[in-house]
Amino acid sequence: MVKIFLQLALFLIYLSSSFASEKLPKCEGSLQVWTNCHGKRLYLNGQTYDGSWEDGFKHGKGILDYGDGRTWDGDFIIGDPRGSGTMSYSDGKVYVGQIKFGIREGTGTMTWPHGTSYTGEWERNKYHGEGIAKWPDGDSYDGGWKEGLFDGKGTYYHATGEKFIGYFKKGRKHGRGIYYYLEGRVEKGIWQYDELVKKD
C-alpha cells in the first residue's frame, strides 16, 4: 500500500512539473544557446524530443520519441532520461515510475495489455527488491525479488484460494514456509526448490 501511495505522489509531482515546463518560453537561435526554454528537435537517428532545455541539453520535463515504438514522457537530466515519468512501448506495455539513463531503476509500475502487472522496486530493468506481481489467471505474489525472480520472504496467492507464506530462492519455494490448501489442510516445514523436504 505504501508503494502505491508513493507511485501516486510521484505521478502528481510529474504532472505539476509538466505544466510548468509548458509555460517556458520558446527556444530560439542555435541549439548551444537553448536554455530555460521549451523546444522541439528531430535527430538524424529518427528520435524526436519535445520539452525543456538547459545549456543545449535536454533537461527538465520532456517527451522523447525513440522512433522504435518507445516513448519516454518525463524527467531529463543533462541530456539523459532520468527521474520519474511514463515509458510506453510498441507492444502496448506501459511503465510509470523512475528510470536512470533510460533503464528502469528505482520504484515503478509496469502493466501489460494481457493483464499482468508489477508494482515495486527495480534494478537494471528487472524486478529487484520488494514488489507485488499480479497475473491474469488471478495468481499474485507479494514479497522479495532478485534479478526478476521471487527471492527472500514472500507470499504467493493462488486464484484457487491456496497460498504459500515463506521463503523463496530463484523463483521457487526454498526455506521455511507454510502452505495453506483450499480444503483447510496446512503443511509446515522446510522447502528446497518447490519440494517439502522436512515437515514440522
Q: What is the pLDDT of residue 22?
A: 61
- pLDDT average per 10 residues of sequence, the chain (200 residues): 48 47 83 91 95 95 96 96 96 97 95 97 97 98 98 98 98 98 95 95
β-partners of residue 96 are: 86, 109
Q: What is the pLDDT of residue 17?
A: 45
Q: What is the pLDDT of residue 18?
A: 47
What are the residue ranges spanned by the domains of the chain? 1-100
Listing DSSP states for 59-124 in one string gives EEEEEEE-SSS-EEEEEEETTEEEEEEEEE-TTS-EEEEEEETTEEEEEEEEE-TTS-EEEEEEET
Q: What is the pLDDT of residue 197?
A: 96
Q: What is the pLDDT of residue 31?
A: 86
CA–CA–CA angle 81, 61, 1 (5° rounding): 80
- In the block, residue with C-alpha cell 519455494: 173
CB contact at 8 A, 49 and 63: yes
Q: What is the pLDDT of residue 13?
A: 45
Q: What is the pLDDT of residue 172?
A: 97
- In the block, residue with C-alpha cell 497475473: 135
Q: What is the pLDDT of residue 101?
A: 87
Task: Report whether CATH 1.10.10 matches the domain 1-100.
Answer: no
CB contact at 8 A, 152 and 137: no
